[in-house]
């Protein structure tokens, strides 16, 4: 018999996933109001206008410096790792790896037969590995927010060498964490985290140096499949298109979220809202004997994906199952991390009050189990 959490304790919306994440009802309304665009050509004005709204909105929201441009394509952030391996790393990459996602990109470049073995700077899950200036690399890569562990890192360009480019996996950070894009050359993400839409696309804010790098590498004779060509993606994006057919519904959900974030007050507003949620979550955990923020250093604790270890005598799996039975979903730890842990998506679509309600639900369950 599942426990019944009293209704007054429950959040208004029980979606706390770290990706896919909560979609706001307003986005669904936008989808319905624009249903006439669904099922129409992505080469014609209605869908191209949508892509233009997204490209312009992302440029404004993230404060892209002059000359930076927004490119997009199908395949999500995972596809972008292959795009970057093929088109952006010239000879050798350095990776900061402190969780599953940073590790996966490091593996992608390390396995590429046309590259030198990558330099991987690792740190234990729950901490952060930082990029280090190195003379023999041409590309630096790090997550902005490691979704698998709930650790975040500032976006900072290492001091050299001249011409090196920086790639930032901002899949779960973009739109919710502060960033100065002049510190990076490719700030890439997918729509199913802070942008509260469906997965399947990748987007990247690219510096002129990144666009030039891709043009040079792709002209060098390296075989690049068309689907993974960054230059092809940039050429299509400049025409507000994707190389092949995108999911139009995802574009509508994404465009609405970008414009909603701007209307609420932009990145500053969004960053503060997520930080408020995170403060609620972490201070709650610190006030409980049986709960501990997984990330030890407070400044490395993500303000968008919070991870909370539970004491051994409490079975996180049981708490998560009871929450789910009561409509509070997806607070499970990253599957490969294997910890007795809750992981809470606190993206801008999530109400801070609902994060507070979630903590009250956990208190109730721990007292009752």
Work out whether 195 is an interface residue with ligand PLP (CB under 6 A): no
The mark string for 117-156 relative to ligand PLP (x by CB under 6 A, - otherwise) is --------------------------x---x---------
Binding residue for ligand PLP, selected from 59, 78, 292, 340, defined by CB under 6 A = 78
Work out whether 101 is an interface residue with ligand PLP (CB under 6 A): yes
Work out whether 19 is an interface residue with ligand PLP (CB under 6 A): yes
H or E segment and range at residue 69? strand 69-74
User: Which phi and psi angles does 88 have, rounded to 5°?
Assistant: -115, -35
- Closer by beta carbon to ligand PLP, 77 or else 341: 77
Work out whether 171 is an interface residue with ligand PLP (CB under 6 A): yes
Q: Which stretch binds ligand PLP (CB under 6 A): 169-177, 294-302, 306-314, 354-362?
A: 169-177
User: Which phi and psi angles does 119 have, rounded to 5°?
Assistant: -90, 120
Spatial distance between the Cα atoms of 73 and 3, rounded to a whole number of angstroms: 45
Residues sharing a CB contact under 8 Å with residue 77, sequence separation 6 or more, in sequence order: 101, 169, 171, 188, 189, 190, 202
HSE-up of residue 236 (Cα within 13 Å, Cβ side) = 22
Tally of CB atoms within 10 A around 135: 7
Return the residue nearest ligand PLP (CB atom).
Answer: 76
Q: What part of residues 216-255 is at the interface with ligand PLP (CB under 6 A)?
A: none
Work out whether 172 is an interface residue with ligand PLP (CB under 6 A): yes
Work out whether 76 is an interface residue with ligand PLP (CB under 6 A): yes
Please name which of 244, 252, 277 lies closest in space to residue 57, comparing C-alpha atoms.
Answer: 252
- Classified as helix, coil or strand, 10 is coil
Give one word for 67, left, alpha or beta, with left for phi > 0 and alpha for psi -120 to 50: left
Binding residue for ligand PLP, selected from 77, 142, 229, 303, defined by CB under 6 A = 77
Binding residue for ligand PLP, selected from 169, 185, 322, 330, defined by CB under 6 A = 169
Q: Which residues bind ligand PLP (CB under 6 A)?
A: 19, 76-78, 101, 143, 147, 169, 171-172, 190, 193, 199
């Amino acid at each position: 018999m599942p426990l019944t959490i009293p209704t007054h304790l429950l959040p208004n919306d029980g979606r706390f996933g770290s990706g896919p994440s909560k979609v706001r009802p307003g986005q669904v309304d936008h989808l319905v109001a624009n249903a006439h665009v669904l099922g129409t050509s992505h080469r014609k004005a209605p869908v191209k206008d949508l892509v233009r709204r997204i490209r312009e909105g992302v440029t404004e929201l993230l404060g892209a410096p002059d000359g930076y441009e927004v490119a997009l394509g199908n395949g999500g952030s995972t596809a972008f790792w292959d795009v970057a391996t093929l088109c952006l790393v010239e000879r050798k990459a350095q990776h900061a790896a402190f969780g599953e996602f940073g590790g996966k990109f490091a593996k992608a470049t390390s396995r590429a037969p046309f590259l030198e073995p990558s330099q991987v700077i690792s740190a234990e899950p729950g901490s952060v590995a930082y990029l280090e200036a190195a003379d023999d690399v041409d590309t630096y890569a790090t997550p902005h927010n490691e979704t698998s562990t709930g650790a975040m890192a500032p976006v900072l360009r290492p001091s050299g060498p001249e011409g090196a480019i920086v790639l930032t996996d901002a899949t779960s950070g973009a739109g919710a964490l502060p960033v100065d894009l002049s510190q990076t050359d490719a700030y890439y993400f997918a729509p199913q985290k802070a942008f509260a839409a469906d997965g399947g696309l990748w987007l990247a804010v690219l510096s002129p140096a990144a666009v030039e790098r891709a043009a040079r590498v792709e002209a060098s004779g390296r075989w690049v499949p068309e689907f993974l060509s960054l230059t092809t993606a940039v050429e299509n994006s400049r025409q507000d298109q994707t190389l092949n057919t995108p999911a139009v519904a995802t574009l509508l959900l994404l465009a609405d979220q970008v414009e909603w974030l701007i209307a609420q007050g932009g990145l500053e507003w969004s960053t503060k809202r997520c930080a408020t949620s995170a403060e609620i979550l972490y201070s709650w955990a610190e006030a409980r004997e049986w709960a501990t923020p997984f990330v030890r250093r407070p400044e490395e604790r993500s303000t968008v994906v919070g991870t909370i270890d539970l004491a051994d005598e409490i079975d996180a799996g049981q708490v998560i199952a009871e929450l789910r039975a009561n409509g509070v979903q997806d607070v499970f730890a990253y599957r490969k991390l294997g910890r007795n842990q809750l992981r809470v998506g606190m993206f801008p679509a999530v109400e801070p009050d609902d994060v507070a309600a979630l903590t009250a639900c956990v208190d109730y369950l721990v007292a009752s189990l």
